[in-house]
A and B are shown apart, each in its own frame.
Chain A
Amino acid sequence: MFKKLPQNGEKVSIDFEGKRLETVTGQTVAAALLGSGEMLFRESAVTGQPRSVYCMMGVCFECLLEIDGKPNQQSCMILVQEGMKIRRQQRPIMENHASA
Chain B
Amino acid sequence: MNSIQTDTIVIGGGIIGVSLAYGLIKHGSSVILLDREDQNLTASRANFGLVWVQSKGYGMPRYAEWCIEATDHWPVFSESLEEETGSKLNYENTGGFEICLGEEELAARVKFIEDMRMQSRNGQYEVSMLSRDELQKMLPKIALGNDVSGASFCRHDGIVDPLNLLRTFYQGFQKRGGDYRPGHWVEDIQKDGSGFLVKTPKQHFRAQKLVIASGLATTKLSNMVGMAVPVSPQKGQVLVTERTSKLFPFATGGIRQNANGNFMFGASHEDTGIEIGTSTDILKVLVSRALRIFPVLENLQLVRTWAGLRVLTPDQKPVYCESEEFPGAFAVTSHSGVSLASLHSDKLPEWILEGKIFPDFDVFHPRRFNV
Contacts and interface: CB of A to CB of B under 8 A. Distances in A.
Contacts of B243: 45-46, 91-92
A98 B143 contact: yes
Most chain B CB atoms below 10 A, which of A46, A70, A92, A94: A94
A92 B262 CA distance: 10
B357 interface: no
Contacts of A94: 244-245, 247, 296, 299-300
Contact of B136 (A45, A71, A92, A100): A100
Interface size class of A (residues with CB under 8 A): 10 to 19
A99 interface: yes
Contact of A100 (B142, B245, B260, B300): B142
A97 interface: yes
**Is chain A's interface secondary structure helix, strand, loop, or mixed overall?**
loop
Contact of A98 (B247, B260, B261): B247
B144 interface: yes
B244 A100 contact: no
Contacts of B261: 92
Interface in B312-343: none
B299 A97 contact: yes
Interface size class of B (residues with CB under 8 A): 20 to 34
A72 B247 CA distance: 19
B359 interface: no
Contacts of B244: 92-94, 97
A95 interface: yes
Interface in B234-264: 242-245, 247, 260-261
Nearest to A100: B143
Contacts of A97: 244, 296, 299
A92 B245 contact: yes
A100 B299 contact: no
Most chain B CB atoms below 10 A, which of A46, A99, A100: A100
Interface string A33-77: 000000000000110000000000000000000000011100000
A87 to B, nearest CB: 15
A99 B144 CA distance: 10
A99 B301 contact: no
Given A45-B242, A45-B243, A91-B243, A70 B141 contact: no
A9 to B, nearest CB: 32
A97 B142 CA distance: 8
19 contacts: A45-B243, A46-B243, A46-B260, A71-B299, A72-B301, A92-B243, A92-B244, A92-B245, A93-B244, A94-B299, A94-B300, A97-B299, A98-B143, A98-B294, A98-B296, A99-B141, A99-B143, A100-B140, A100-B144
Given A94-B247, A98-B141, A98-B294, 13 more contacts: A46-B260, A72-B242, A91-B243, A92-B261, A93-B242, A97-B244, A98-B143, A99-B140, A99-B142, A99-B143, A100-B136, A100-B142, A100-B144
